Amino acid sequence: MNFESLQAQLSNKHPDRMKVMSQSRALPLTDRFNLMCLAVKDENPRIRYDAVSQLGTLGTVDPSLTEQILTTALKEDPEIDVKAAAADSLGALQIQTAFPLLVETYHNNPDWLLRLSIVAALGILGVKDAFEVLAEALQSDNDLIKISAIRALGDLADDRAIPLLTPLKNHPDWQIRHALAQTLGNFGNQVESILQELSQDPTPQVIESAHNSLNNIATKVS
C-alpha cells in the first residue's frame, strides 16, 4: 500500500480502515506523519488513539504542527484514552510549552487514567515547576497515580522530593516500595541509608532495585 491508497481509505471511511494504521508503518516517515495528521480527525476513537500515540514518535517531522494537534486532542477529544495518549505523546516529545495545559488539565479533570498519563509526562518534561503538582499526585488515593508520581519525581530529580518519598519505604504495597527503590537511584548519596533499608526488604524485586540504585549512586560519585 502506498500513501495515496491509504489516504483514500481513511478519507472515504473505508470499513476496514483500522488496517490502514498498521499498514502505514511501512511508509516513509513523512508520509506516515501526514497520514496520522489525517487520522487524528477520524470519527473512530480507536483510530484517533492510534494516530495520537504514533505522533509521540513521528512528531519530530513537524514539531509545531504536532504540538497543535496534540494539545487540541488533550483539550477537545471526547475520549479519555485519546486525551491520555495526547499527554503521553507530549511528554515523549518533551514539548515543554505544553506544561501549563498539562497542569490545568490535571487539576480540572479527575479521571485517573488521564491524570496517570499527565503525571508521567510532567516528569519526562523536566520542568522544575512540576514539583508541586507531582507532590500533590504523590498523595493520591490511587496507587497507580502514586507510583507514577514516585517515578516522575525521580525523573525530575529535585532534592525537595526526598522528605516526601522517604516515608514510603514502609508502605505496605511492595509495588510502591519497588518504585521507590528504583526512583532513589536518581538522587545522590543522601538517600543511601534509605536504600540500605530497602535492600533488606522482604520482596526480592525491591531488594534487587535497591542494590541497582545503590550501584548507580556509587558510579555517579566515583
How does DSSP classify residue 29?
Answer: H
Question: Which grid cell is 12?
Answer: 472515504
Spatial CA neighbour of 91 closest among 99, 83, 103, 80: 99
Spatial CA neighbour of 23 closest among 32, 14, 11, 12: 32
Q: Is the pLDDT of residue 214 over 70?
A: yes
Q: Tell me: the pLDDT tens digits for 175-202?
A: 999 999 999 999 989 999 999 999 999 9
> How far apart, in whole angstroms, are the C-alpha atoms of residue 55 and residue 91?
11
Q: CA separation (Å) from 138 to 11, 114, 168, 208? A: 44, 15, 10, 23
Domain boundaries, the chain: 157-222
86 Cβ contact list (under 8 Å, min separation 6): 52, 70, 71, 73, 74, 77
Quote the pLDDT of residue 201: 98
Q: How confident is the model at residue 222 (pLDDT cuts 50, 70, 90)?
A: low
